Amino acid sequence: MTFNDIFKSSFLENVTSVSVLDMVLTLLLAFLLGLFIYFVYKKTFSGVMYSASFGVTLIALTMITALVILAVTSNVVLSLGMVGALSIVRFRTAIKEPLDIAFLFWSIAVGIVLAAGLIPLAVFGSAVIGIVLIVFVNKKSYTNPYIVVLQCEDHDSEVHAKEYLDQHTKRCVVKSKSAQKGLIELNLEIRLKEDNTDFINELADMPKVHSAVLVSYNGDYMG
């Protein structure tokens, strides 16, 4: 028996086709679950620049994955060709937010599970993952951080300004410092005790303090 005979007897004769009902049901569920993933992404987004195209990509990726897996499960020979074709595909788009990777894998996993016929697992798993992401991503365990850009004339004014910030904030940490003749510039991360920011006015009125700027920073911090 040759290699061709094996294919003819074991593979080509056992090719099954996907029914129209299965195709419609799978793609419809993939669209609905992809839409759910999109809404969870929109609800939990906490980055700087929101990308609507990425949300649409999550819907399309769920449907495309389901389509590919349907083709693979219906034809073994076609699945071998797809493995070879997809193995040479390389994606160069940079993922800026670590959480975006989770959404991409979520979309791919839902498409695979749906095409495999495990509809309850896809629906229940998506619901649980969505709830977990909404609860933990939107949970803030810290107060909003701020950056104070401070320009002082000498060391004494720097020490005096730092002591003032220590008294009027929960936390004050020097992030960077640059010094030149007659000017010292500090970047300090602070956490406010309350929403009142009048202390920055008093800080700017201190002797030998040239300027004090308060900037809100949208970032992730530990502690």
String of DSSP letters for 73-136: HH-HHHHHHHHHHHTT--------SHHHHHHHHHHHHHHHHHHTT-HHHHHHHHHHHHHHHHHH
Query: At residue 3, does pLDDT exceed 70?
Result: no
Q: E-assigned strands of 125-182?
A: 145-152, 169-180
**Confidence category of residue 37, pLDDT binned at 50, 70, 90:** very high
**pLDDT for residue 128:** 93
Bridge partners, 176 (sequence order):
187
Query: At residue 139, does pLDDT exceed 50?
Result: yes
Domain residue ranges in the chain: 3-137, 145-216
The stretch 144-151 carries a mean pLDDT of 84
CATH superfamily of 145-216: ACT domain (3.30.70.260)
Contact between 203 and 209 under an 8 Å Cβ cutoff? The reply is: yes
Query: At residue 54, does pLDDT exceed 70?
Result: yes
**Confidence category of residue 219, pLDDT binned at 50, 70, 90:** low
**pLDDT for residue 86:** 58
The stretch 16-44 carries a mean pLDDT of 85
Share the mean pLDDT of the chain. 78
**pLDDT for residue 32:** 93
> Which of residues 83 and 98 earns the better pLDDT score?
98
The stretch 11-34 carries a mean pLDDT of 75
What's the whole-model pTM score?
0.59
The pLDDT tens digits of the residues spanning 171-212 come to 888 888 888 888 888 888 888 877 777 888 888 888 888 888
The stretch 111-128 carries a mean pLDDT of 89
Query: At residue 220, does pLDDT exceed 60?
Result: no
**pLDDT for residue 94:** 65
Q: Which residues contact 17 (CB under 8 A, 6 or more apart)?
A: 74
In this structure, of 9-13, 20-24, 117-121, 192-196, the range with the lowest mean pLDDT score is 9-13
Q: What angle do CA 110, 115, 119 make, to 5 degrees?
A: 65
Residue 213 CB neighbours (<10 A): 12
Contact between 142 and 221 under an 8 Å Cβ cutoff? The reply is: yes
**pLDDT for residue 188:** 85
Query: At residue 76, does pLDDT exceed 50?
Result: yes
The stretch 215-222 carries a mean pLDDT of 59
**Confidence category of residue 13, pLDDT binned at 50, 70, 90:** very low
